[in-house]
Chains A and B, each alone.
Chain A
Amino acid sequence: MTPELFITRHNHLIDPFVHVWSWQIPVYLFLGGWVAGNMILTGYFMLGGRHTRRSPLLSALPGLSLVLLSLGMLALFLDLEHKAYVWRLYTTFQWTSPMSWGSWILLLVYPALVVTWLVRPPLILEDLSQTVERITNTLQGRRDIVRTIGITSMVLGVALGVYTGVLLSSLVARPLWNTGILGVLFLASGVSAAAAFGHLVTHSPDERALTVRIDNVVLASELGILALFLVAMLNGSAQQVDAASLVLGGPFTAPFWVFVVGLGIVIPLIIQLLAVRHWIQHTPIAPIMVMAGGLALRWVLVLAGQVSRWEPGTMGMP
């Protein structure tokens, strides 16, 4: 029989379960992951020399990423309880804090996105600004610089996509997050969101074909990563076994399996695989489901992770 435990504490956001982060964090994680995916894709495209020809994604993604990232950071800002002091993030670097790393990475990502955008900006930008036109022309001629830009974009994209997972996984107090796999999971999810979006919006058939294949590979990998994630939990500490039960019979079971796994990965993957083999038409529904699934993944994990805890109480049983 479990011991009876009664605690007099009743702190807002902490009791009965930790709930310090709500919608703002999953939204940022999703947008940040998406931008990370965008940066990896665009970097990959540059390394492949796609910047030398017309590329809807290279023209759109960096600019879009600037907007998405700003929205994400706005969400982060809205989450802060002491907003007037946000500038304190940038008066120091706390090397043990993944959040400090992230705040500086974000600072580097902005100029990186601008530079990336200048490699193959939309024509209207070139029309509007002579400076842009000049820079673009220079870059177009310098494959080596573009290569560097591409690698930088991929590296910063990986950093952006992974650090949030590192942040959450560093919190020992939250057993559901406390696994090295989380960073990989978030990165994969971010790349798949970017690929899905790219597949959705590009009007280049070549890019569409490439992104959907990338997406399928990443989605399939995500299934594997999620499986490994659960296996790691179930073979972990007692706290992690309890944490895993949150999605294996506990209150987060339905959202996880229906929205994250079913509608977010498995079904769109099947649709996209069939579409790639031309058994069915390509449909926008699938990439939309992938993106929604990415948001759902962040949402479920952020909420469930806070609920997971180290059980207090030291008397042990019986």
Chain B
Amino acid sequence: MDSLSRRRFLRISAATIAATSATAGVARLAGRAAGEGGPARGLHTVPTFCDICFWKCGAMAYVEDGKLWKIEGNPADPLSEGRLCPRGTGGVGAHFDNDRLKAPLIRRKRRGDDEWVQVTWDEALGHVAEKMQAIKATYGPEAVALFSHGLGGTFFKHTIRAYGSPNIAAPSFAQCRGPRDVGFHLTFGEEVGSPERTDIRNARCLVLIGSHLGENMHNTQVQEFAAAMDAGASLIVVDPRFSIAAGKAKHYLPIRPGTDLALVLAWMHVLVTEGLYDREYVAQHGFGFEAFAAELAPYTPEWAYPETGIEPAVIRETAREMARFRPATLVHPGRHATWYGDDAQRSRAVALLNALLGSWGRKGGFYAPTSMDVPGYPYPDYPAAPLGKVDNPGGRYPFALETLTTGIREATLTGQPYPIKGWFTYATNLVTALPNEAETIRAIQNLDLLVVVDVIPGEMAGWADVVLPEATYLERYDDLNVELFREPFVALRQPVVPPPHDQQPNWWIARELAKKLGLESYYPWKTIEEYLEFRLTKAGLSFAELKQKGILRGRPQPIYYEDGLTPEFPTASGKIDFYSTALRDKGFDPVPKYTKPADPPSGMFRLLFGRAPVHSFGRTQSNPILHEMMEENELWLNADVAARMGLADGRYVRLRNEDGVVSNRVKLKATQRIRPDCVYMVHGFGQRAVRLRRSLGRGASDAQLTTRYKTDPLMGGTGMNVNFVAVEAEA
């Protein structure tokens, strides 16, 4: 625990900074592009797409007299329809954040110490390449893993694969949407995807289970949610907390945390026993319905009531409401689905419920997304990786569709099935993204190399050996966004203003590193524009036109069965698997079964967390504009409980979990808007990175308190809503 308690974060001791002004100027030229050559006076606009979250909304950046002014939506963009969310609108703050990383850094002493040397890119990348070659020589290239979040990781993935490692993972699978995609994949043969293929706009009945649209600011979804509300859609919200969406709901179900699967099973029971499901759709597309229906027999509303706290009459009424509007009834699959460890099965239940309602492939339910056909760049084949992937030895999690971040972490900790000696992270703060940060920090101790690529000096950067500063999305080109969505389009990210210091774009960093590793052959293009133009020309599109418009749209394709789209279900049976032989054959429940969650220990509350519309995870708290919108998070505690505990609204408290971890002080929000048995806070606060002055010590960190997690046996997802906390007054 020593390294944990003596936490040291990124700081620069003035005496150790080397002068780099000459190299900085040269390095900047490499990133320059046409978008930066705008007029020095007057107003001009540059289209690009946003990177404050992963949605990639088309944006229009305004530059006045050479200085970045504001960002609006690109009206040509199908994702945003010309309107950005508050984070995108506040994106200029990322450019102006004076606490952002400015130059490459190499740590001087022990990992986690706070002393750094500012170096040139040449030195930094040379050092990284040297270490990587050493690891390759001793352990093989598979011993270097890449953790990447977002489109900007594309070129890093390319370099790492070229280097010879297959171990590339995104936390968004095992720590977020993984269970949902697996649950739907097991049922329909396809994942939900991102952006989710939810036809919220046309839904006449929308069911949100824990999903808090409006606070969760997936732009397209919130826009469609509002459109559906405006059209009079019937909204059913299931949430232990009275969310913003709950405030608009026709039916609000204040469910006991951890019992959602019981409710879904009971709903399905009602639909089946009352014959309210889409018989024709099920008959035409379903496999194993009878066996499935038989499994549902015990899950009556009366059975579900003591589990969930939702009255049988309400369960029946809401089931009937869903049936009333089918197939335009959408039971939203959610996004962050890693809750209780049985999440893939719970998500499968949600998929099955949608299947009963006939919403998959139908208008108002789930559409079939399309994308533009833009070929990739022809690269040489990647080297074979004889050791194979490290994250899921023996297919322990047989239904994992993507690489497991926590699997890589475990291999790093144990050295099994083979050692992992190097980590690259791109745009992900692993200490807060992965549950149980103690494990992450212990794993880091086993590394010979930790490279962190980011825009801001977050906590993960504090543990790095080498920190590489990336330019923000407003200052760089990126790979094309060829989105899978309602209609095909391709979007371009291009520089609006030059990076203010020695920051570089991801493609440049990845390419220069590749050169240092002797992998030039994998980067045959000389400039990023050449790369982009090549791909676009192959697709029959004009790079010049894309630069000018930001978005090029293709011809809309049919996306519903109603429009003639052929239903296809790439499952084991070739149909919708109401009964999954694939699951049965691996020893899992072919139809989801309910597991009762643990009750909170006496005097404790289940810790729940979620999103705020003005922040993205922990990456926007330093953005001066977004910081001002929400400077700290609050701890939501039921007002009556707070009154009994003598805790007044607005006073500061601390949370203590079952493992004795105590949070930072956090403001109490004593409110009627939450059940008495749980507490809630917005994720991303309680930051400890000293160089991020705005966010340091503001609010509390749910991630820090997430010391326990339940791993989903189907696919390795880490259920994180399994921690209980006590609330203590701040002295």
A8 touches B629 (CB 8 A): yes
A4 touches B629 (CB 8 A): no
> Nearest residue in B to A3 (C-beta to C-beta)?
B672
List chain A residues, Cβ under 8 A from B672: 4
A207 to chain B, nearest CB (A): 57
**How would residues 1 to 40 of chain A score, 1 for a CB under 8 Å from any chain B CB and 0 otherwise?**
0001000100000000000000000000000000000000
**How would residues 345 to 368 of chain B score, 1 for a CB under 8 Å from any chain A CB and 0 otherwise?**
000000000000000000000000
> Nearest residue in A to B631 (C-beta to C-beta)?
A10
List chain A residues, Cβ under 8 A from B436: none
> Nearest residue in A to B628 (C-beta to C-beta)?
A10
How many Å lie between the Cα of A104 and that of B639 in the bound state? 55
Interface SS of B by simple majority: mixed
List chain A residues, Cβ under 8 A from B629: 8
A58 to chain B, nearest CB (A): 58
How many Å lie between the Cα of A4 and that of B671 in the bound state? 7
A141 to chain B, nearest CB (A): 71
How many Å lie between the Cα of A313 and that of B496 in the bound state? 43
How many Å lie between the Cα of A4 and that of B640 in the bound state? 13
> Nearest residue in A to B671 (C-beta to C-beta)?
A4
How many Å lie between the Cα of A4 and that of B672 in the bound state? 8
**How would residues 660 to 674 of chain B score, 1 for a CB under 8 Å from any chain A CB and 0 otherwise?**
000000000001110
> Nearest residue in B to A10 (C-beta to C-beta)?
B628
A272 to chain B, nearest CB (A): 47
In chain B, positions 635-671 with a C-beta closer than 8 Å to chain A are: 639, 671
B383 to chain A, nearest CB (A): 54
List chain B residues, Cβ under 8 A from A8: 629
In chain B, positions 371-425 with a C-beta closer than 8 Å to chain A are: none
List chain B residues, Cβ under 8 A from A4: 639, 671-673
How many Å lie between the Cα of A301 and that of B629 in the bound state? 34
B42 to chain A, nearest CB (A): 31
How many Å lie between the Cα of A8 and that of B639 in the bound state? 20
> Nearest residue in A to B672 (C-beta to C-beta)?
A4
A219 to chain B, nearest CB (A): 42
B542 to chain A, nearest CB (A): 44
A196 to chain B, nearest CB (A): 44
> Nearest residue in A to B630 (C-beta to C-beta)?
A8
> Nearest residue in A to B634 (C-beta to C-beta)?
A6
A116 to chain B, nearest CB (A): 55
List chain A residues, Cβ under 8 A from B671: 4
How many Å lie between the Cα of A167 and that of B62 in the bound state? 45
How many Å lie between the Cα of A8 and that of B612 in the bound state? 13
How many Å lie between the Cα of A60 and that of B41 in the bound state? 65
> Nearest residue in A to B673 (C-beta to C-beta)?
A4
A14 to chain B, nearest CB (A): 16
**How would residues 30 to 60 of chain A score, 1 for a CB under 8 Å from any chain B CB and 0 otherwise?**
0000000000000000000000000000000
How many Å lie between the Cα of A109 and that of B671 in the bound state? 56
> Nearest residue in A to B649 (C-beta to C-beta)?
A4
List chain A residues, Cβ under 8 A from B639: 4
B89 to chain A, nearest CB (A): 15
List chain A residues, Cβ under 8 A from B673: 4
B673 to chain A, nearest CB (A): 8
How many Å lie between the Cα of A8 and that of B630 in the bound state? 8
In chain B, positions 670-685 with a C-beta closer than 8 Å to chain A are: 671-673
How many Å lie between the Cα of A4 and that of B639 in the bound state? 10
In chain A, positions 223-279 with a C-beta closer than 8 Å to chain B are: none
B242 to chain A, nearest CB (A): 10
**How would residues 90 to 123 of chain A score, 1 for a CB under 8 Å from any chain B CB and 0 otherwise?**
0000000000000000000000000000000000
B637 to chain A, nearest CB (A): 13
A15 to chain B, nearest CB (A): 13
Point out residues on A near B: beta carbons under 8 Å: 4, 8
Listed A/B pairs (5) with beta-carbon separation below 8 Å:
A4-B639, A4-B671, A4-B672, A4-B673, A8-B629
Point out residues on B near A: beta carbons under 8 Å: 629, 639, 671-673
5 closest cross-chain pairs (CB), A and B:
A4-B671, A4-B672, A8-B629, A4-B673, A4-B639
